[in-house]
């Protein structure tokens, strides 16, 4: 049985995002929202919401139970201030907590993620099966000879 650890992360996230387009709805405000305080503009990808949701689902599966604050730290970036005058080193700013929370709530409504009271979010049994199924498909489609030993 293939797991999320057996396939490259970018291929898995791309495949999960394609599957999530049919399962969850994108909020109206996503096209205007920045991904964190360290960013100046919103993302330019058309399927950003689904890619971020797929990435969050993978992160929750790897690090469960995990909370919003830790996920915001992982999705944060360096805030440098003005582009004109860089007079001191940038500091780390967390990612958008609303974006993360909304995405996890959409995944929770779909039954892929559950809330563990006082601990954070966990992947449900249905979510685990969903990720394994997608990982199996990605693994079969990969044309990488160095991964054949894991089959």
Query: Closest Cα partner for 102 from 26, 38, 32, 45?
Result: 26
pTM of the entire predicted model: 0.83
pLDDT value, residue 148 = 62
Contacts of 38 (CB under 8 A, 6+ apart): 76, 77, 78, 79, 80, 90, 92, 93
Whole-number average pLDDT of the chain = 83
pLDDT value, residue 58 = 92
- Averaged pLDDT for residues 3-14: 87
CATH class of 7-139: mainly alpha
At 140, is the pLDDT very low, low, confident or very high (cuts 50, 70, 90)? confident
What is the distance, to the nearest Å, from the Cα of residue 110 to the centroid of all Cα atoms in its chain? Answer: 15
Handedness of CA 58, 63, 67, 72 (dihedral sign): negative
């Amino acid at each position: 049985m293939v797991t999320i650890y057996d396939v490259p992360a970018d291929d898995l996230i791309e495949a999960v995002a394609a599957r999530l387009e049919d399962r969850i709805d994108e909020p109206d405000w996503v096209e205007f929202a920045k991904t964190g305080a360290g960013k100046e503009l919103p993302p330019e990808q058309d399927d950003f919401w689904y890619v971020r949701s797929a990435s969050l689902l993978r992160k929750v599966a790897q690090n469960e139970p995990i909370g919003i604050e830790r996920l915001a730290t992982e999705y944060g970036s360096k805030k440098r201030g003005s582009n004109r005058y860089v007079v001191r080193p940038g500091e780390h700013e967390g990612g958008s907590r609303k974006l993360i929370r909304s995405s996890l709530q959409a995944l929770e409504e779909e039954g892929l993620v559950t809330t563990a009271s006082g601990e954070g979010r966990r992947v449900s049994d249905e979510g685990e099966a969903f990720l394994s199924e997608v990982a199996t498909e990605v693994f079969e489609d990969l044309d990488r000879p160095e991964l054949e030993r894991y089959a």
